[in-house]
Amino acid sequence: DGGITQSPKYLFRKEGQNVTLSCEQNLNHDAMYWYRQDPGQGLRLIYYSQIVNDFQKGDIAEGYSVSREKKESFPLTVTSAQKNPTAFYLCASSPGTGGVRSQYFGPGTRLTVL
């Protein structure tokens, strides 16, 4: 089955630790995205990547980092610099770039900082 997988589903982190969220897609999509979702806030763009080895900051990139070494993978690292990392994180992909193509979402990772 084609789709997007995110792991783990739940993640707990102590303050001061970095943590990496996995996102893999087998849709052969060029573009991938990371969004953060907080209650009542909708989705906010963290980072996006249009091609391998290239990525751009979104609206709330501070405290996060990404890499795009392979077309199918776009991991997100939440660093200790992110002041309020507890949230639901969603990865998405699309066959083209920008907002002219439909995005397809993974099931999400819920990160809780203890």
Query: Closest CB to another protein among 4 and 78?
Result: 4
CB of 106 to another protein, least distance (A): 5
Binding piece for another protein, criterion CB under 8 A, among 17-25, 41-49, 61-69, 70-78: 41-49
Q: Is the link from the previous residue into 107 a cis peptide, with omega within 30 of 0?
A: no
Residue 105 to residue 83: CA distance in whole angstroms = 25
Quick note: the x/- pattern for another protein over 55-94, rule CB under 8 A, is -x-x-------------------------------x-x--
Pairing of strands 109-113, 10-13: parallel
The answer to whether the beta carbons of residues 90 and 35 sit under 8 Å apart is yes
Query: Closest CB to another protein among 35 and 78?
Result: 35
Among 11, 43, 52, 60, binds another protein (CB under 8 A): 43
Measured from the Cβ of residue 41, the count of other Cβ atoms closer than 10 Å reads 9
The answer to whether the beta carbons of residues 50 and 59 sit under 8 Å apart is no
Interface with another protein (CB under 8 A): 4, 6, 33, 35, 40-45, 48, 56, 58, 90, 92, 98-100, 102-108, 110
